[in-house]
Structure 1
C-alpha cells in the first residue's frame, strides 16, 4: 500500500465516482480503477459497492476513509516539516556569548532579525569563554560563538567571520576622582587598582588593555571577575577600575560610572565562530544572517 492508493481512494469517495476522481487526479480512469482494485485486494475486501450507477462506500470503506484522510494529512505535515527544516525555518541554534557582546547590542540586533525571519527556530545562549567556545563548537555542544578570538589558522574545522568592532570604556566607582574627566587615557589610569577579567578559560585579561596593544598599567591587580557583571560589581564596591568594551555602560549597575578610553586605534574585534562544514540548515542560516 502506497500513499497514492490512499489519495486515489479518497478522491473516488469524495467525488462520488471514478470518472470525476480521474479528472481530479489527472489520471486515466482505467488506471484509477486498477489501483483501487489493487488496494481492495490487499485489504481483503471491497471498499466500494459498485452495484448502482455511482459507487458507494461499504462499511469497510467508510471506516477506511477516516483513517486514510488522517494518514494523508500526517504525510502532508511530515512533508511540510521536512521542507521547513531543510530551509532552516525550524531547528535550533546554540550560541556561546560573552557579556561584552550582550551589552554591546550586537547580539540582540542579530537575534532579533533572525527570530523575525525564522520564528520557529529555537535560540539558546550560553555564557562561554573564547577558548571554551572553540572546544564546545567542535564537540557539537555549541553551534556558533561570539568571541574576541578569530578561528585559529591551524584548525580547519573552525571558521569565523567579523561580527563587530568596538572601542573601550573605563568603569569607575561613582565619586572616583577620575570621573570628573570626560574621557580617560591609559596614562591617567596607570597606577590605579585595575580589576582583572578571567575569560573562563583560565586566562587573565588585565583590564582588557594588554591584549589590544597598549602598555598595561604598572600596578598589579588584586581583584578578579569571571563575567562582565562580576567585574562591574567589584567596581561598584570600590575595589578598583575596569576597562571593558563599549556597550557595558548599558548595564545599569548602581554606583558605577563610565568614561570613554581615548586611545586611537585601541579597539576589540568580535568574530562569529562556526564549524567549517556546517550541515544543520538553521545554523547555516544564522551564519549567513550574520555575514
Structure 2
C-alpha cells in the first residue's frame, strides 16, 4: 500500500463520485477505479457500496477513512517538521555553560533571544566545568558551550570570542585593600595576601590566565584555599578568608560583605567569554545559535 492509494481513497470517499474524484486528483477515471479496487483487494475488505455512478462508504470504509486521514496528516506534519528542521526553525539544542559564564548578562540574554526567535527549537541547558563541557562537545552530548577559555587543546572544536571582560579584585569589606584610596589596584597588590584561587580540573580557564599574568608581573600568590566553583570563591571572600580575582560581571554578589576593586589600568587583566562548538557542526539550529550570539555580542560592545 502506498500513500497515493490513501489519497485516492480519501478523495473518492469525500466526493462520493469516481469521475469527480478523478478530476480532483488530476488523473483519469478508469485508472482511479482500478486503484481503489486494488486497495480493497489488498485489504481484503470492501470499502464502498456502489449504485450506478454513486459510490458511498460502507461501515468498514468509514472506519478506514479515519485511519487514512490520520496517516496522511501525520505524513504532512512530518514533512513540514523536517523542512523546518532543515531550515533551523525546529529541533533541539543542548547548551552548556560554566558558572562564571552563566553570570554574565550576555549568556542568558542570548539564550532568551534564541528562544524568542525560534520557539519551536527545544533548549536543554546544563552547567559544568570547562573541561567537562568541552569533552561533552567532542562527544556530541551538547551542541555549544559558553566558556572562559580557548579550545586549542581540543582538535575537533572551534570557538568565537564574544567579549573580553575586565577582571576585578574581590575583597572582604573589612580588608585594608577595600578602603585603599588609590583608584585601582595593581597585580603587585595581590602578593602577600591570603588568596582564594578558583581552579578548573585539567587546567583550563581563569586560573591559568591569572597565574600567567601574575608570573609575568613577578607576583607570587599566597593561596590559602582552592575551590572549583567561582561562586564558592566569592562566598569565602565574604567570610573574610582572603581575596580573589573574578570577572567584573560577578560584582553584584555579596555586596554587603565584599568590595570589588578594579585594576589600574582597568584592562590589566581580562578574561574572554567564548562560545565553543564542534568545527564540523552543520545543523542549521546550531549555525543560527552561533550567528545570533555573534550579533548580540556586537550590540553589547
For 2:230, the equivalent position in structure 1 comes to 228
Q: Is this contact kept in 1: 2:238–2:254, CA < 8 A?
A: no
Shift of 1:24: 2.6
Shift of 1:288: 3.2
For 2:26, the equivalent position in structure 1 comes to 26
For 1:218, the equivalent position in structure 2 comes to 220
Distance 2:59 2:5 in 1: 18
Residue 67 of structure 1 aligns to a residue whose secondary structure is helix
1:242 to 230, 237, 244: 244
For 1:61, the equivalent position in structure 2 comes to 61
Q: Is this contact kept in 1: 2:96–2:146, CA < 8 A?
A: yes
Q: Is this contact kept in 2: 1:110–1:290, CA < 8 A?
A: yes
Distance 1:84 1:137 in 2: 24
Under a length normalisation based on structure 2, what TM-score does the superposition of the two structures give? 0.85
Q: 1:72-106: per-residue Cα shift (whole Å, max 9, x none)? A: 12222322332333333333323332222111112
Residue 161 of structure 2 aligns to a residue whose secondary structure is strand
Q: Is this contact kept in 2: 1:196–1:242, CA < 8 A?
A: yes
Q: Is this contact kept in 2: 1:208–1:243, CA < 8 A?
A: no
Shift of 1:203: 6.2
Over 6 Å off, 4+ runs: none
Unaligned 5+ runs, structure 2: 295-301
Q: Which moved more, 1:129-138 or 1:68-77?
A: 129-138
Instruction: Identify if the C-alpha distance between structure 1 residues 112 and 9 changes in structure 2 by more than 3 Å, giving closer, same or farther.
Output: same
Distance 1:171 1:208 in 2: 17
Shift of 1:208: 5.6
Unaligned 5+ runs, structure 1: none
Residue 135 of structure 1 aligns to a residue whose secondary structure is helix
Residue 209 of structure 1 aligns to a residue whose secondary structure is helix
Under a length normalisation based on structure 1, what TM-score does the superposition of the two structures give? 0.87
Distance 1:47 1:125 in 2: 51
Aligned-residue RMSD, C-alpha? 2.6
For 1:200, the equivalent position in structure 2 comes to 201
Instruction: Identify if the C-alpha distance between structure 1 residues 137 and 61 changes in structure 2 by more than 3 Å, giving closer, same or farther.
Output: same
Q: Is this contact kept in 1: 2:149–2:205, CA < 8 A?
A: no
Instruction: Identify if the C-alpha distance between structure 1 residues 115 and 212 changes in structure 2 by more than 3 Å, giving closer, same or farther.
Output: farther
Q: 1:243-291: per-residue Cα shift (whole Å, max 9, x none)? A: 1111011334651221222334532223222111124443343233324
Q: 1:174-214: per-residue Cα shift (whole Å, max 9, x none)? A: 23232234532223333222211111336696596334465
Q: 1:23-50: per-residue Cα shift (whole Å, max 9, x none)? A: 3323333332232122122122432222
Distance 2:208 2:55 in 1: 84
